[in-house]
Amino acid sequence: DNPASVKRQLAQLFDLSLRATVPDEPDVVPLVDACAAKGGVKFGDYQCNNAMGIWSKIKGKQTEFRGPPAIGQAIVNNLPPSEMIDSCSVAGPGFVNVVLSKRWLAQSLQRMLIDGIDAWAPRLPVKRAMIDFSSPNIAKEMHVGHLRSTIIGDTVARMLEFSRVECVIRRNHVGDWGTQFGMLIAYLFEKFPNPNDVSVADIGDLQAFYKASKVRFDSDPEFKLRAQQAVVRLQSGEAMYHKAWKQICDVSRAEFDKVYQRLGVQLEEKGESFYNPYIPGVLEKLDNLGLVEESDGAQVIFVEGVNIPLIVVKRDGGYNYFTTDLASLWYRLNEEKLEWIVYVTDIGQQQHFDMLFKAYRRAGWLPKDENAYPKCTHIGFGLVLGDDGKRFRSRSSEVVRLVDLLDEAKRRCKTAILERDTAKDWSEEEIEKTTEAIGYGAVKYADLKINRLTNYTFNFDQMLNDKGNTAVYLQYAHARICSIIRKSGKDVEEIKRSGKVVLDHEDERALGLHLLQFPEVFEEACTNLLPNLLCEYLYNLAEIFSKKFYSNCQVVGSPEETSRLLLCEATATVMRKCFYLLGIVPVYKL
């Protein structure tokens, strides 16, 4: 529910009108939407599209209406008077077009400037939510897929926080358990017979370490045996094995942290290993409910609509990725009392989560209605591709070190900025801060602006271009607005109170309307968990500002200066909120 949404406010008015227009059709809900320009022309700001639907419902019945246009007209006539609306007209087969009052638009904007943009936040009926994201696997590479998960997951967390969810947990479900640890531990013991000698620096490049131990594993049966024994001894909690396991995890963690530090993302780690003690109890409960069956020596659960069963205990008695997720979800619902849990992984894991949630529904541990709380949602994303259209890889090796990738983005930004005159008198620190904000922001934005379900191509030249739909362009646009305000020499807080927003010029009005549409766009992005909708909105905002408003409306030194400065400030405020939601640090000077 979002009282600031223009669309919702209009829908409420139309709801009243519909009740009066067709009192015998209580099920009719108002269909209100912003108008799209047709051939560059807009017939209104918003449309109500109920007339056609109502006509097909009632045309067989006794009715005073002789077609959808007449219904449209009645909807207009029955609208209660409102200061929101300037005029209404019926077009074509019965569309009701609404032109909003520019006075009302201006007042609404002014109120936001005074109350702050958080007054535009919606309110979700959830107090405790969790986003399970990033979640790389220890000792395997943290690949670009995990980068996507990290970027998208953090944005979703920010969106829920803005929606006034009191507690949003960012959870790193690190893959820190599994048979690969036997191999790694055996190799560690072989290289460092005295465990006290091992330091993080010695293991160093964990991927190389992993590869080397894999070579040993595949070539030496005796080593393989030791590796298998190591798993058992680790799982039975032997101190030396546990210590080695922890050492390996710490090295990985240090590497992951470099990525999180650059992205400004803070995750709370509870790795797969954490849930081991909970597994037997959860399986027992599921068994008591009659869900667990025997199949081919394994223990499985069948769920609705899927032919293959979920294996919860392997034939050798071991647990798997799925078993851990059964236990972790139990913990999250019962111990952490979460009402909404969002999992962010590549689309490849969709079936895994679908089956997990279905198993929980079968057990009665999640409500049958998918939209009721407590609720679980999986949001998937597509692949990251290289210029060759194949899975993204670096030239030299199989995988890309994510830290290198982010450092490269920053380095390229630095080169570009140092070439400009403006940076001449900047301090070293200013240059660092600015290039980090732009470089890392550009990587994030390039990912977020694509609908997460589609694949996207990783391309530095494209994402760092200062023209087009990139974070670099948006940062410049924002910095320019800040500089206009600075150069005016006016105290913004002062004019917010004493000045008045006026939207007389059509480009002022267009900008004002777009600004006021932020709440409804945000609501849609949040409902569908699609950050790309926010990016699209933000880009359009920057375009309307520079191509329409700023090209045609002189700000500083014009008679309308105060109002126009307020429009600049409102634009910068909304842009910064979008940046914030997308995890991008705004730059005020460029």
Strands 32-34 and 46-48, by their bridges, are antiparallel
Peptide bond into 93 cis (omega under 30): no
Distance of CA 215 to the CA centre of its chain: 39
- Give the C-alpha separation, 293 to 287, whole Å: 8
Q: Cβ 313 to ligand ARG, closest distance in Å?
A: 18
Show the site string, 283-322: x = touches ligand ARG by CB under 6 A, - = not.
Answer: ----------------------------------------
Piece of 68-76, 128-136, 299-307, 404-412 that binds ligand ARG (CB under 6 A): 128-136
**What DSSP element (H or E) covers 567?**
helix 561-581
Give the residue among 195, 198, 364, 368 at the shortest CA–CA distance from 285.
Answer: 364
Binding positions for ligand ARG, 171-210, rule CB under 6 A: 173, 175
**What DSSP element (H or E) covers 261?**
helix 239-263
Piece of 106-114, 130-138, 258-266, 377-385 that binds ligand ARG (CB under 6 A): 130-138
- Give the C-alpha separation, 519 to 162, whole Å: 11
- Give the C-alpha separation, 140 to 149, whole Å: 16
- Does 273 help bind ligand ARG (rule: CB under 6 A)? no
| Between 122 and 175, CB nearer to ligand ARG | 175
**What DSSP element (H or E) covers 312?**
strand 310-313
Q: Cβ 378 to ligand ARG, closest distance in Å?
A: 9
Give, in order, the Cα–Cα distances in Å from 254 to each of 240, 251, 261, 283.
21, 5, 10, 34
Give, in order, the Cα–Cα distances in Å from 551 to each of 543, 547, 555, 590.
11, 6, 10, 20
CA angle 487, 534, 30 (to 5 degrees): 120
Q: Are the C-beta atoms of 407 and 394 separated by less than 8 Å?
A: no
- Does 340 help bind ligand ARG (rule: CB under 6 A)? no
- Does 343 help bind ligand ARG (rule: CB under 6 A)? yes
| Between 107 and 349, CB nearer to ligand ARG | 349
Q: Cβ 267 to ligand ARG, closest distance in Å?
A: 12
Q: Cβ 409 to ligand ARG, closest distance in Å?
A: 23
Piece of 103-111, 129-137, 227-235, 431-439 that binds ligand ARG (CB under 6 A): 129-137
For residue 38, list its beta bridge partners: 41
Q: Are the C-beta atoms of 525 and 152 separated by less than 8 Å?
A: no
| Between 72 and 374, CB nearer to ligand ARG | 374
Cβ neighbours, 10 Å, residue 64: 8
| Between 229 and 350, CB nearer to ligand ARG | 350
Q: Cβ 137 to ligand ARG, closest distance in Å?
A: 5
Q: Are the C-beta atoms of 326 and 283 separated by less than 8 Å?
A: yes
| Between 43 and 321, CB nearer to ligand ARG | 321
Piece of 120-128, 131-139, 159-167, 238-246 that binds ligand ARG (CB under 6 A): 131-139
| Between 343 and 381, CB nearer to ligand ARG | 343
Question: 157 is written with which tokens?
Answer: 């967390």
Q: Cβ 368 to ligand ARG, closest distance in Å?
A: 22
Give the residue among 403, 452, 456 at the shortest CA–CA distance from 141.
Answer: 403
- Does 436 help bind ligand ARG (rule: CB under 6 A)? no
| Between 132 and 569, CB nearer to ligand ARG | 132
| Between 150 and 517, CB nearer to ligand ARG | 150
| Between 135 and 235, CB nearer to ligand ARG | 135
Classify residue 493 by burial, with Cβ atoms within 10 Å: 0-12, 13-18, 19+.
exposed
- Give the C-alpha separation, 258 to 150, whole Å: 13
Question: 366 is written with which tokens?
Answer: 């999640």
- Give the C-alpha separation, 563 to 189, whole Å: 72
Q: Cβ 143 to ligand ARG, closest distance in Å?
A: 8
- Give the C-alpha separation, 542 to 11, whole Å: 28
Binding positions for ligand ARG, 369-398, rule CB under 6 A: none
Residue nearest ligand ARG by beta-carbon distance: 135
- Does 332 help bind ligand ARG (rule: CB under 6 A)? no
CA angle 164, 169, 172 (to 5 degrees): 150
| Between 68 and 136, CB nearer to ligand ARG | 136
Q: Residues of 546-558 as b/e, b for ≥16 C-beta within 10 angstroms?
A: bebbbeebebeee
- Does 255 help bind ligand ARG (rule: CB under 6 A)? no
| Between 349 and 465, CB nearer to ligand ARG | 349
- Does 478 help bind ligand ARG (rule: CB under 6 A)? no
- Does 345 help bind ligand ARG (rule: CB under 6 A)? yes
| Between 297 and 348, CB nearer to ligand ARG | 348
- Give the C-alpha separation, 50 to 52, whole Å: 6
Task: Tell me which residue has tokens 């969790």.
Answer: 130
Piece of 83-91, 133-141, 273-281, 572-580 that binds ligand ARG (CB under 6 A): 133-141
H helix intervals, 199-238: 200-203, 206-219, 221-235
| Between 379 and 495, CB nearer to ligand ARG | 379
- Does 135 help bind ligand ARG (rule: CB under 6 A)? yes
- Does 439 help bind ligand ARG (rule: CB under 6 A)? no
Number of residues that bind ligand ARG (CB under 6 A): 10
Q: Cβ 173 to ligand ARG, closest distance in Å?
A: 4
Q: Cβ 328 to ligand ARG, closest distance in Å?
A: 6
- Does 137 help bind ligand ARG (rule: CB under 6 A)? yes
- Does 325 help bind ligand ARG (rule: CB under 6 A)? yes
Q: Cβ 348 to ligand ARG, closest distance in Å?
A: 8
- Does 132 help bind ligand ARG (rule: CB under 6 A)? yes
| Between 173 and 410, CB nearer to ligand ARG | 173
- Does 563 help bind ligand ARG (rule: CB under 6 A)? no
Q: HSE-up of 232 (CA within 13 Å, CB side)?
A: 8
- Give the C-alpha separation, 186 to 189, whole Å: 5
In the complex, the residues that contact ligand ARG under the rule CB under 6 A are: 132, 135-137, 173, 175, 325, 328, 343, 345
